[in-house]
Amino acid sequence: MRMIIFFVHQNLKNLPLSKILDIEKINNVDKPIEVANGLPNECYTNQDYLAHEKEKIFYNKWTAIGVGSSIPKIGDAKPYNLLGIPLILIRDKNMDVRVFHNVCSHRGFKLLDKACTLKNVIRCPYHSWAYDFNGQLVATPHIGGLNNHQSTNFNKTKSNLKEVKTKLWMDIVFVNINSNELDFDQYIKPLEERWSKFINKDDQKLIVKSDDYGYFSLEVKTNWKFAIENYCESYHLPTIHPELNKISNINDHYHIQGLPNRFAGQGSKKYDQIVKGNKIFDTFPNWEKSMLKNSEYIALFPNVMIGLHVDHFYVFWLEPLAMNKTKEHMQMYYVGEESANGEQLKEMRKQNLKFWKDVMLEDINAVEGMQEGRNSPVYNGGNFSPVMDQPTHQFHKWVAQNLVG
């Protein structure tokens, strides 16, 4: 009986999208916002739908899987599971971040199961085959028999680790599993052009990870898309973030919609730099003086949320764990080493991290509430405020277009 259930489940994973949900509902998402509906319930609750989302959203697109500063030294390595695909992030001998499929080419054993610092090779725990940090197979113990480590009939070059197309940008590690997306420089160009009035490419090199009060993570009982939707809009500020709304009122916010549908979000015109007595964080040197109070909060699709301020920068990346479970990672950065890790500014960093963590904790009820609501048979996508929900609608359109495109 167990065998029958297993094979039926495996077959259902390959159901065409039209057998899982009404394609017309997906097409309706792309209509003008006044008459569009949101993504249907199945996109948040149906396990069979996930197979389509994995392939068309996470494997076809540039997807964030971490930050480069988490593996700062040569040989630093860590595993990551991207919706079932095991990966290795490693810092090579040229100090570049590389990503490989976390599987030995010999018998398919997973090479790495926890973060570590490797000396010279990635060694398989099963038969001790070893790969250098470029992924090349360099050792095959006893392949030709006991104490014979070579075989005339075996070509090592055909058994190197399989590398994943990878790009490091603003310390974020992006991968394109299927290697079929735009070149990353073209992919990120619209956002870099938008932000050119704030930071240029030289300024990007100034960001430094905070080691003491820089990172936290949360596991949330929600689909990853709800985190993106919530981040895109400021409509919920008065109800979910009443204290934040006092500092940066909803009326001080503006919509951000990047073309061609790669990012969306919101900006504020009321950001005040963090000050304690005569202490202040360093700022980006090329930020336009007339826009010092501007800050922008952008969701870069599919799974990155970025906050850019004149004196700090943060990254949220989403790790989908299940249809109704997501791990949110946050890393904070400042301009220069002194602001990021200097003892004089430690309390200010602590205060800043707490502020943003509290904001994200307030969002949990919102995103988990939407997840629970999607179990209702009478709700199936809802609608949008033509004025307040434009960035959220843009994200829904991006998902819909990639599902059926």
Q: What is the pLDDT of residues 159-169, one digit of tens each?
A: 999 999 999 99
Q: Taking 60 as the threshold, does the pLDDT of residue 6 lie above it?
A: no
Q: Taking 80 as the threshold, does the pLDDT of residue 9 lie above it?
A: no
pLDDT reported for residue 12: 40
Q: What is the mean pLDDT of residues 23-28?
A: 95
Give me the phi and psi of 270, to 5 degrees please.
-130, 30
Q: Output the six-digit token pair for 365.
A: 């009820």
Q: Taking 50 as the threshold, does the pLDDT of residue 85 lie above it?
A: yes
Q: Taking 80 as the threshold, does the pLDDT of residue 295 lie above it?
A: yes
What are the tens digits of pLDDT across the range 139-153?
999 787 788 778 778
What are residue 284's DSSP bridge partners? none
- 230 sits in the region (left: phi over 0; alpha: psi -120 to 50; else beta) called alpha
Q: Taking 70 as the threshold, does the pLDDT of residue 293 lie above it?
A: yes
Task: Give the residue from 398, 373, 357, 169 showing the smallest Cα distance to 265.
Answer: 398
Q: Do the Cβ atoms of 65 and 83 come closer than 8 Å?
A: no
Q: Output the six-digit token pair for 323.
A: 């249809």
Span 64-166 CATH architecture: 3-layer Sandwich (2.102)
pLDDT reported for residue 247: 75
Of 45-54, 141-150, 366-375, 384-393, the poorest mean pLDDT is in 141-150
Domain boundaries, the chain: 64-166, 183-404
Percentage with pLDDT > 70 across the chain: 95
Of 59-68, 252-261, 311-320, the poorest mean pLDDT is in 252-261
CATH of 183-404, one of 3.40.50.1260, 3.10.20.30, 3.90.380.10, 3.50.50.60: 3.90.380.10
Give me the phi and psi of 61, to 5 degrees please.
-110, 170
Q: Output the six-digit token pair for 101.
A: 């499929």
Give the helix/strand (H/E) hosting 280: strand 279-280
Of 67-76, 97-106, 217-226, 248-257, the poorest mean pLDDT is in 248-257
Give me the count of residues in the chain.
405
What are residue 213's DSSP bridge partners? none
- What is the rounded CA–CA span in Å between residue 24 and residue 18? 9
Q: Taking 50 as the threshold, does the pLDDT of residue 11 lie above it?
A: no
Q: What is the mean pLDDT of residues 34-41?
A: 97
Q: Taking 90 as the threshold, does the pLDDT of residue 81 lie above it?
A: yes
Q: Do the Cβ atoms of 64 and 319 come closer than 8 Å?
A: no
| Helices and strands, counts by H and E, the chain | 13, 20
Give the helix/strand (H/E) hosting 169: strand 165-169
Name every residue whose Cβ is closer than 8 Å to that of residue 366 and which is 6 or more positions away in sequence. Answer: 226, 230, 236, 240
